[in-house]
Amino acid sequence: MASPSVDAASDSSSTPVPSSHGIDRDPEKDFPKEPELAPEVDCNIVRWTGSDDRDNPQNWTFTRKAGTTGIWVYACLATAIGSSIFSSGSQAISAEYNASRTVVTLGVSLFMIGYCVGPPIWGPLSEHFGRKWPAVIGMSLFTIFCIPAAVGQNMATILVSRFFQGTFGAAPLALIGGALVDIWNPIQRSVALTCCVGTLFWSPSLAPVIGDFVTENVGWRWTQWISCIMGGICALLLLVALPETYAPLLLRQRAARLRKDGVPDARSQFDGKALTVSDIARIYLIRAFMLLATEPILIAVTIYQAFIYGMLYLFYVAYPIVFEEIRHWNLGISSLPFLGIVVGVLCGCAVVIAHILITAKPPKMDIDGKPIIIPEERLPIMIIGSILVPVGLFIFAWTSNPEIHWIGMAIGGFPIGMGMYMIFVQCFNYIIDVYMTIANSAIAGNTMVRSGFAAAFPLFGPAMFHRLGVEWATSLLAFLSLAMILIPVLFWKYGARIRARSKNRISS
């Protein structure tokens, strides 16, 4: 999954239009603010005119904001299901093309490599063209590349198509973070982002349930036709119903209309400020790798998050081994235990949202009137999640004997899903809080490593489960998860001290 980026230009300070919905209240209006001297105003600069300016996405009604968010969530749902539904047809594809399971699994891995390649393309494009059109183009091309994967007559065609599906399907994942910044205030945005990340976590786990029944009844090619249909609906929805939300583009368009209407000097403060190629290389590549090489917080959190993300995609090849090969369930029924992970993710999402709403309060201010952010406040939820994951893995491992009732493994999936989600979403929030103005670079490096793990784990997973057995292969994952509990615990205790030491290096 591509990660949320923070666009300062889009995060305007105007107050949203009140509504009867409780969550629509903007708590920022209650925050203490230092008095500011009125700057000298350039009348030719086009700005938002205030809280009644309905062209400003921050001033939209709650219903319109929720509808816009819903479209973005569906776009992420379509591409996330596409990422893992291919695994349902692995056995049938292997038999049809006489290919090894490892080669067929490349269909999932190459999709994830596309996820790694896509964000550095789609993120900068949104600086020039806004949120809508890159998303429309990305999902349209995602839909097109589902077709050769569905009708391909050789593995090369299918695998290349899967790579491009991931590259173009990464568009909504790369853009949704900025889109949420465009329309929601910080507390509302935290809730919306939690729901979006939850969708990106439960939908790939639901995809094998859908895909296995489809493969069993109408053939594996229909897993790709389902992705094509969902992508086509999404592209049409983005084209017809999604409004543009990127404030710099909207203000540039407003200035252009004024010039056309006889105000020749009208201009936006964002004119001429789009990213250059050198900016893109610096932000998404050079600085991203520099931070990954020098920042202990980013290194540790990225490894932990990448391990969790890789393990999620490992389960898409491990569950068929456990339930088809060992317990001899048929294809459709063998996917139902994935629902344990799905329910766990949904419960984890509810816990994180409840925590956000319960703990939401005006932040303390420093002497300059700026809010004081304490990143370590994100860690208690992560610590709870880090305990749940190994608990679930040990339950899954030692109830895997076919002589033991299957309900034990299904129950084990619940804390696995819940814990993985709580770790995953709080890793994002912690990185953003720590790195603030260079969060885009930190997240870019994080995304590359995370997608690499998700691509690699399904490749070695089958061999690990066959050679070690389900008990010890899963226990190995559990022991690694136990060791990684130290990451959030140590940062909870020493994070502020580590940040103080690395602060100058970050700012330089």
For residue 31, the model assigns a pLDDT of: 39
- Say which residue, 213 or 189, is predicted with more confidence: 213
- For the segment 473-477, the average pLDDT, to the nearest whole number, is 97
Q: Residue 318: name the closest of 301, 302, 335 by CA.
A: 335
Fold matches, 1-19+50-265 and 290-362+370-508: yes
- 371 backbone dihedrals φ, ψ, rounded to 5°: -65, 140
Q: What is the tens place of the pLDDT at every residue in 286-311?
A: 888 888 888 999 999 999 999 999 99
| Alpha-carbon distances of 498 from 209, 287, 440, rounded to whole Å | 44, 20, 20
For residue 231, the model assigns a pLDDT of: 97
| Alpha-carbon distances of 482 from 236, 303, 392, 479, rounded to whole Å | 45, 14, 11, 5
Cβ-Cβ contacts under 8 Å for 341 (sequence gap 6 or more): 202, 205, 315, 413, 414, 416, 417, 420
SS3 93: helix
pTM: 0.84
Task: Give percent of the chain above pLDDT 90.
Answer: 56
Q: Residue 434: name the closest of 502, 386, 493, 488 by CA.
A: 502
Residue type, 54: R
- 365 backbone dihedrals φ, ψ, rounded to 5°: -115, 145
Confidence of residue 147 (pLDDT cuts 50, 70, 90): very high
Confidence of residue 508 (pLDDT cuts 50, 70, 90): very low
SS3 268: strand
Q: What is the tens place of the pLDDT at every residue in 168-178?
A: 999 998 899 88
CATH superfamily of 1-19+50-265: MFS general substrate transporter like domains (1.20.1250.20)
Q: What is the tens place of the pLDDT at every residue in 47-87?
A: 888 888 888 999 999 999 999 999 999 999 999 999 999 99
Per DSSP, what are the bridge partners of residue 22?
none
The top-level CATH class assigned to 290-362+370-508 is: mainly alpha
Domain boundaries, the chain: 1-19+50-265, 290-362+370-508
